[in-house]
Structure 1
Amino acid sequence: MAHYLKDCSVSCKLSWDDLQAVCRRQRLVCKQLSVTKHNFRDYEVEYLCNYRNIKGREFFLVKWKGYSEAENTWEPRRNLKCPKMIRQFRRDMRLALLLANKPLDSTSLDASCTSFLLQKAKQRLKLLRWEEQLNRTCKHKGRIFVLNEVDLDGPPKDFMYISDYRIGEGVKMSQTAAGCECADCIREPVNGCCAGASKHRMAYNDSRQVKIKPGLPIYECNSQCCCGPDCGNRVVQRGIQYDLCIFKTANGRGWGVRTLERIHKNAFVMEYLGEIITSEEAERRGETYDKQGVTYLFDLDYVDDVYTVDAAHYGNISHFVNHSCDPNLQVYNVFIDNLDEHLPRIAFFATRAIKAGEELTFDYKMTIDEVDAESAKIDARFSMAGVQGTPVKPMRMECKCGAETCRKYLC
C-alpha cells in the first residue's frame, strides 16, 4: 500500500503561521518552520475582540494565533506589539459604539458592541486568508488586495479563482502551428510578425500600449515564436501588471475593483477569465441565472456566437468589475497560442489615464461597430453580468454607476 502512495501528497489545511503556532504550543522543534527552543514562548496576536479601560489603563481581550477562543487573555496595552491591529480595532470600536448609540469614551463594551467587534475581526481574518489565496493562485506581477469597510460580508461563496481559462465540455482548443522569426517584433517585424501573418496590423507601440482601434483583433507572439518573454508583442500574456483591490462598494453594487496604481491610457489592465462553454450550454445556464437574478456570461462572438465565457463560479479579478455607462476599460479580442477566431481571449485596456484609487469599470452593453472591412462587430452582450445583479428579463434594472452620461437602466 505504501508503495502506491509514495508519490501522493495532500494539501495542509493550516497556514504556515498556524503550523508554527502549533509547534510552539506543543514544544516541538521544527527547522523547516523556524521553530526552536528559544522562540517557544513567542506568541502572535490573531485578533482583538474586546476592550476595557480601568482607571486610565487600557486592556484588550486577545485571541492568540494557534490557541482556541477559550484561551483568550486580557492584556494591558504595553504588552501588545501590534500597533496597526490596535489602530484598526479602535476604528472598529468607534463604529460599534456609534451603531449602538453609546458614548465614544465608554470604558467597557456591551454585548452588541463585542459581538460586532468579534464578527469584524473574524471577517478581516477570512478576507486576509482569501487575499493570500488569490495571490498564491495568480501568476502575474500585480498583487491583489481585499477590503470591506461597508458590511460584515466575507469572501464570496462558490467561486474559485483561476489564472487561465477553464475548458468546458464540448469546447475544442487548437494550438498554434508556427511562430515568428523576428529579432525585434516591434521595430523590425519580419513579414509583419504574427499580426502580419494574419493580415492584420501590429497592435502595440514601444510602450506596450494598444494603438489599434477597438474592434480590430490583436495577434500576440506565441510559444512557437523565436522572440523571448520580454518581446514587446507579448502584453496580455504577461498578466496583470498593476496592484489592484477588490473592495465592497458603499452604494449597493456589491464588490468592485479599484486600481492602487496609476494606469496609463491604452495600457493592458486584465483579462476576462472564466469557463469556456458552448452557446447551447450558455443558453441553458442563462435561464437558471435569470431566475437567480445574476449572470456572468460573456459571448465570444468575434466572428460567430459559438462559445461563451461563464465567470460565475470560475474566474479571476474581472469577475468583480462593475458596469459604468462611462467606463475606463475597453474590450479587445486577443489571439496568442490559439488562432481559432471562435475563441479569442477577452482583454481590457484603459480608455484613458486612470488615477490610483479609481474604480475600474466597463460597459456591460458595449457595442463596437465595424471600423474597417476586415474587423468584425464586437457585441459584449454581457447579459447584465456582474455584481449589480440581474432581475428577470421583463423587468428594468436601475443603473447605479453614477456617471453623468448614465443611461439610468441596464436593460
Structure 2
Amino acid sequence: MADGLNCNPPTDESPILDVKPLRILAPMFPAPFGYTTFSPPDAPPSYVCVTPFGPFPPGCTPFIPPPSSIPPSSQRPYDQTPLATDRGGNVGEASGFENPNNIPSPSFHTPQPTAGPANGFAGQPKPIEIYEADGTLRQQTVSGNFSGPASTKDVSSKKRKQMVNSRKRSVYQSSSTMSSSDTEASNEKSQKIKAQKRVRNNGDTIISLPVDGDRDSVERLLITYDALRRRLLQLDDVRGPTPGASKRPDLKAGAIMMSNGLRVNMSRRVGAAPGVEVGDLFFFRFEMCLVGLHAPSMGGIDYTNVKFDQEEEPVALSIVSSGMYEDDDDDTDVLIYSGQGGSSKVGKQIDDQKLQRGNLALERSSHRKNEIRVIRGMKDEMNSAGKIYMYDGLYKIQESWIEKGKSGFSVFKYKLLRMPGQPDGSALWKITQKWKESPSSRGNVILPDISSGAENLPVCLVNDVDEEKGPTHFSYITTVKYLKPISSMKLIMGCPCHSVCMPGDANCSCSLKNGGVPPYSSNGLLTRRKALMYECGSSCMCSINCRNRVSQKGIRFRFEIFKTRDRGWGLRSWDPIRAGSFICEYTGEVIPEIRVEDEDEDDDYIFEASCSNENYFEWNYIHELLGEEKPEDLSENPKPLPIIISAKNTGNVSRFMNHSCSPNIFWQPVLYDHDDDWYPHIMFYAIKHIPPMTELTYDYGLSKNQSDNVEMGGHRKRQKCLCGSSRCRGFFG
C-alpha cells in the first residue's frame, strides 16, 4: 500500500508455544474420508468454573459459584467444541453461511451427545452432510456412535470399525497419558504426512506449500481455494439444483482443500499467523481455516490448551466479532466482546451463558495476558446478506465481567485492547466508509471527480505527498477508440435468449462461445480466465440485466487517483474488492505500430497485449483437484494479440495503474460489440481480495528480447521496477 499507509506486518514472529490441541479440534473440519468421530458416552459433563476477575462496570455484579460447583484444577471440560449456534456471525452467501430456507448446514464439529440442561445443550441428533474429497455429498447420521456413510458397500464393517478406533485414538488420546517424546514423534509424523499430501496427488505436484505460512504461500492458497469454489459454483449453475443437496461450493471447496492437505499454519500457536497481514479480507470463514488464522469453521472463539509451568489450561487464540452478539465495536482500538452460548439459531439470547469452552479460554487469557487474533465482521455493501471478515491484528484482554443482556440473561463480557504499533485495519475501513458518505471529508483533494461525471461513481484525485496539482492533461473517456468505426467491423452473432441467459442453455450462442458455461457467477464475478471471452452485446436478445454483461456497465467501485512517493500517480479503491470483480477497461486510442515508432518522445501510457505473460492462467482452478481433464484452452498460452492502446492523450482510471511483479489485477480480452478477435476490449479483474486503500497494479509484461538496450516490443523502454514485492524481477519491459 502506498503513500505513507503503514501496512507492513509486525516484524517479530511469535514463537510456537508448547501447545497440545484440544481433544475435539480435528472434527471441526470436514472429515476427508467421509466419516465423523463420536463423543465417548462416559465423557464428563460440562461445568461452571470460576468467574472472570477484575473490576466490573457500575451495576454489574460478579457471579460467584458455590464452592461445591467448582471442580478440582486437574479436571478439564471434555466438551469444548463451539456449537453451530455459538458465536459465528451472520450466515450469508457472501460470507458462506446464509441458510434462508432453514436447510441443515454441514456440521464440522464433534456431534454432541443428547443431554439435559445441565450439560448446556439438549435435543436429538440431526443428520449432517459430509463431503468427499471430490466434492460429492454424502449423508451421515450423527449419533452417539459412528453410523457410517449412507452407502457402505465399499467399506467392510471390520475396516470401518478400525477407521473409527484409529480416529478416536488420534483425536481423544489424553495428553496426560502421552510422554513428551511420543507427542513429538506423533506430531512429526503427522506433519510429514500432511506435507506429502499437500504437494502430491496421484504422483503429480499440485501446489507446494510450507508447513508454516509465508505471504506468498498464503496468497497462493487463497487464490487456489477461490478458483476451486468458483468452478464448483459454475458446475452447480450448469447442472441445476439437485434435490436434497446443499448448494455450498465454499464448503465443498474447503473439504477438497483439506483432504489434499492444502493448508498452512497447522501448528496451534498464540500470536500472529505467519503470512497473514493486518487488513487481509476473507469472504468465507473457510478461508480463515485454511491459512491458520481462525480454526473453527463456525464458532467465533478459537482456543486450545497451552502448557504454563508444567500445567495446562485453555487459552483463546482468536475471536471473530461478526455482529451476531451484543458486541461494541465502534472503537477501532477497543473491542467489548460477548461470550458464546445461551443463544438460539437466530442469535436471540434464551439462556444464561456458562463459563465453559470458549468463555473459559477467554477468562484464562485475561489472566495470562496472551495475544489474541481479532477478526472483525464488516457489512458487505455488494451483498446485503453477506459479511466481509477483516483481520484486525493482535489484542489483549484487559478486563472481564458478567452483565445482563438485552434479553435479561447473563452474558460474559471481555474488554480487549489493540496492541500498539500495528498497521491500520478496521480503522482504515471506517475512514473510507466516512469518505463514501461524505467525500468532502477526504483531505488533500485536488478534484472531487476527475471523470467530470463520465463514470458511474466519482473518481477522486488526491495528493498526500507533495504540492503537485495533478497529472499531465488528458481527455477522460470511458470507451476505447478503434482505428476504424465499429460499424465497419465484423459484427458478433447475438444470442436468442429472452430476458437473461441461463446456465446450461444449449441454444445460447454466447454461452457456446465461452465453452458452454457462463463466464460470470450470478453475482457478477469472473469464474475463469480465458484466452478470449465473449459477453452479450447489442445484437443479443437478452436484457441489460443479463449476467453476461458485466464489463459493459462501467466501474462499480469508488476509486481515487493518488500521488505515490516514487512511481508517479497510482490508483486505489475506497471499497473492498472481491477476487474476480471487474475493475475497469483500459481505454484510449488503438494505434498502429508504425505510429508508435514515429513518436519523438516516450509514451508511458501504452498497453501492449503482445508482451509475454508466463503465468497467464495461474489464476484458474487446479483441475486435478476435481479429477477433471485439463481444459483445451489451458493447454497452451494464447496467441499474441497485435492490439496497442495509448492512453497518453485520452484514457480513464486504468492509465494510472502502475506495474507490479506481484500484481493484484490481471487483464482479460473481451468481445461484445464486434467479432474481430485481434482487437478485443482489454478488461481488468481482481486476482485476489483487495482491502480498501490498497494500490491496484498489474504486470506490464516482458519483451521477448531481454537485452538492456532493446525496447519492449519497440514501444516502451525497459525500466527499473520499484514494486518492492518478494517476486520483483528488478525491471519491466
TM-score class, shorter-chain normalisation, is 0.5 to 0.7
Counterpart position of 2:386? none
Aligned partner of 1:337: which letter?
D
Counterpart position of 1:398? 720
Provide the aligned C-alpha RMSD in A. Answer: 3.2
Counterpart position of 1:335? 671
CA distance in 2 between counterparts of 1:382 and 1:240 reads 30
1:167 aligned onto 2:503? no
Offset of residue 260 of structure 1: 0.7
Aligned partner of 1:208: which letter?
G
Aligned partner of 1:237: which letter?
Q
Deviation string 1:180-233 (CA, Å, 9 cap, x unpaired) is 1123314353434314147675311222111123x4211000001111111100
Residue of 510, 519, 524 corresponding to 1:203:
519
CA distance in 1 between counterparts of 2:482 and 2:512 reads 29
Q: Normalising by structure 2, what TM-score?
A: 0.33
1:365 aligned onto 2:674? no
Contact 1:180 1:190 in 2 (8 A): no
Deviation string 1:249-275 (CA, Å, 9 cap, x unpaired) is 12x101000111011111111111110
Q: Write out aligned runs for 1:4-23 (5 A).
A: none
Contact 2:513 2:534 in 1 (8 A): no
Contact 1:266 1:352 in 2 (8 A): yes
Offset of residue 284 of structure 1: 2.4
Counterpart position of 1:298? 607
Residue of 522, 535, 541 corresponding to 1:226:
541
Task: Specify the SS of the correspondent of 1:402.
Answer: coil
Offset of residue 172 of structure 1: 8.3
CA distance in 2 between counterparts of 1:328 and 1:402 reads 14
Deviation string 1:52-106 (CA, Å, 9 cap, x unpaired) is xxxxxxxxxxxxxxxxxxxxxxxxxxxxxxxx99996xxxxxxxxxxxxxxxxxx
Contact 2:589 2:646 in 1 (8 A): yes
Task: Specify the SS of the correspondent of 2:473.
Answer: coil
Which structure 1 residue ranges, 5 or more long, are not aligned? 1-83, 89-119, 368-380
Counterpart position of 2:563? 248
Contact 2:479 2:587 in 1 (8 A): yes
Contact 1:182 1:190 in 2 (8 A): no
Offset of residue 169 of structure 1: 6.8
Q: Normalising by structure 1, what TM-score?
A: 0.57
CA distance in 1 between counterparts of 2:508 and 2:441 reads 59
CA distance in 2 between counterparts of 1:202 and 1:226 reads 16
Structure 1 pair 284–229 and aligned structure 2 pair: CA distance change class (3 A): same
Structure 1 pair 239–87 and aligned structure 2 pair: CA distance change class (3 A): closer
Structure 1 pair 173–246 and aligned structure 2 pair: CA distance change class (3 A): farther
Structure 1 pair 167–151 and aligned structure 2 pair: CA distance change class (3 A): same
Counterpart position of 2:586? 272
Q: Once structures 1 and 2 are overlaid, which stretch shifts more, 154-163 or 298-307?
A: 298-307
Contact 2:486 2:673 in 1 (8 A): no
1:158 aligned onto 2:480? no
Offset of residue 295 of structure 1: 2.3
Structure 1 pair 383–314 and aligned structure 2 pair: CA distance change class (3 A): farther
Task: Specify the SS of the correspondent of 1:281.
Answer: helix
Structure 1 pair 336–202 and aligned structure 2 pair: CA distance change class (3 A): same
Q: Write out aligned runs for 1:40-59 (5 A).
A: none
Task: Specify the SS of the correspondent of 2:591.
Answer: strand
Contact 1:194 1:219 in 2 (8 A): yes
Contact 1:181 1:190 in 2 (8 A): no
Q: Write out aligned runs for 1:16-165 (5 A).
A: 127-128=446-447, 131-138=448-455, 140=456, 142-165=457-480
Counterpart position of 1:407? 729
Aligned partner of 2:575: which letter?
E
Q: Write out aligned runs for 1:318-357 (5 A).
A: 318-357=654-693
Structure 1 pair 225–172 and aligned structure 2 pair: CA distance change class (3 A): closer
Residue of 176, 194, 201 corresponding to 2:510:
194
Contact 2:551 2:683 in 1 (8 A): yes
Deviation string 1:104-147 (CA, Å, 9 cap, x unpaired) is xxxxxxxxxxxxxxxx8xxx5xx22xx43514222x3x331111
Task: Specify the SS of the correspondent of 1:191.
Answer: coil
Which structure 2 residue ranges, 5 or more long, are not aligned? 1-438, 611-637, 704-710
CA distance in 1 between counterparts of 2:522 and 2:449 reads 34
Aligned partner of 1:307: which letter?
I
Offset of residue 325 of structure 1: 0.7
CA distance in 1 between counterparts of 2:473 and 2:713 reads 20
Task: Specify the SS of the correspondent of 1:167.
Answer: coil
Offset of residue 348 of structure 1: 0.7
Contact 1:332 1:346 in 2 (8 A): yes
Contact 2:503 2:517 in 1 (8 A): no
Counterpart position of 1:30? none
Counterpart position of 2:495? 180
1:217 aligned onto 2:526? no
CA distance in 1 between counterparts of 2:684 and 2:675 reads 19
Contact 1:168 1:276 in 2 (8 A): yes
Counterpart position of 2:648? 312
CA distance in 2 between counterparts of 1:260 and 1:325 reads 23
Counterpart position of 1:43? none
Structure 1 pair 171–233 and aligned structure 2 pair: CA distance change class (3 A): closer
Contact 1:175 1:337 in 2 (8 A): no
Structure 1 pair 354–173 and aligned structure 2 pair: CA distance change class (3 A): farther
Deviation string 1:125-176 (CA, Å, 9 cap, x unpaired) is xx22xx43514222x3x33111101111112223111111123479985152
Deviation string 1:309-353 (CA, Å, 9 cap, x unpaired) is 111111100000011110000111000111101110001110001
CA distance in 2 between counterparts of 1:231 and 1:85 reads 35
